[in-house]
Amino acid sequence: MGVEWDIADATETLDGAASAIEGGNLAGAAAMAFVRSTQQTAPVKTGTLRRSIRINSEDGSSATYGPHVIYAAIQDQGGTIHVRFKKVLANKRTGEFFGKSVRIPGSQYMQRGGEAGIANARQRIAQRIEGMIGG
């Protein structure tokens, strides 16, 4: 969809912990932490964007995740919507008119969620290691 994070860089610092988790899925555990953090930072009107954020792929050592709605990139990065087939842009429900274009500021929810996800992933992995060594 144009908005996606590869968490391989973030989990690179945790590679040493991967061998401590026997048969564990380090990337999967980290990816779920990233998904949850990003869902919490996503802008919410109906909840569709938030619910669309999920893991795209994982292979045991890396994973990617991102939203799966067409408007995800403009909500994250911002941009301008231009009128195409009508005279002006309008909200039918409220009757509000916006003119020929509307600027949408980006919320940077993917970056904010990714930053929070790093901390969450480290915490989840540390908990799994502590559980294995009896700490």
Specify the pLDDT at position 20: 45
Indicate the domain borders of the chain: 5-70+108-133
pLDDT in tens, 42-59: 999 999 999 999 999 887
Q: Which residues of 41-68 are buried (b: 16+ CB within 10 A; e: fewer)?
A: bbeeeeeebbebbebeebeeebbbbbbe
- Type of residue at 71: Y
Confidence band, pLDDT 50/70/90 cuts, at residue 1: low
Tokens of 37: 């953090």
Confidence band, pLDDT 50/70/90 cuts, at residue 130: confident
